[in-house]
Structure 1
Amino acid sequence: MTTARPAEAFEHGDTRRYRRGCRCTKCKAGANRANIKNRYLRQTGRGTMRTPDRAADHLLLLRAAGLTDQAIRKHTGICPDVMYRILRREGVIHAVTEARITRVPVPAATGAFANRAYIPGHGTVRRLRALVAAGWYQAEIARRLGKQKENLKQIIDRGESGQVAQYVANEVRALYAELHNQRPEDHGVPARFADRARKLAADRGWAAPGYWDDDDLDNPDFVPATEATPRYIELAENGLELEAQGYTRAQAAIRLGVSKDALQQAISRYRKALEEAA
Structure 2
Amino acid sequence: MSRKAIPAEAFDHGDPRRYSRGCRCDICKKGITAETRRRRYLRATGRALLTTPDRAAAHVESLRAAGMTDAQILGEAALAPDTLYRIVRRSGGLLRKTEARILAIRPARAAGRGSGANVPALGTVRRLRALAADGWTATELGRQAGKHKQFIVHLQNMDEGGQVRMWVADYVRRLQDELAGLAPEDFIAPTLVKRTRQRASAKNWASSAYWDSEDFDDPDFTPALRDDLNVLRLGSHRRREIQHLASFHVPEHEIADRLGMARAYVHDLIRDMGKAA
TM-score by length of 1: 0.41
**Between Structure 1 and Structure 2, whose CA radius of gyration is higher?**
2
TM-score by length of 2: 0.41
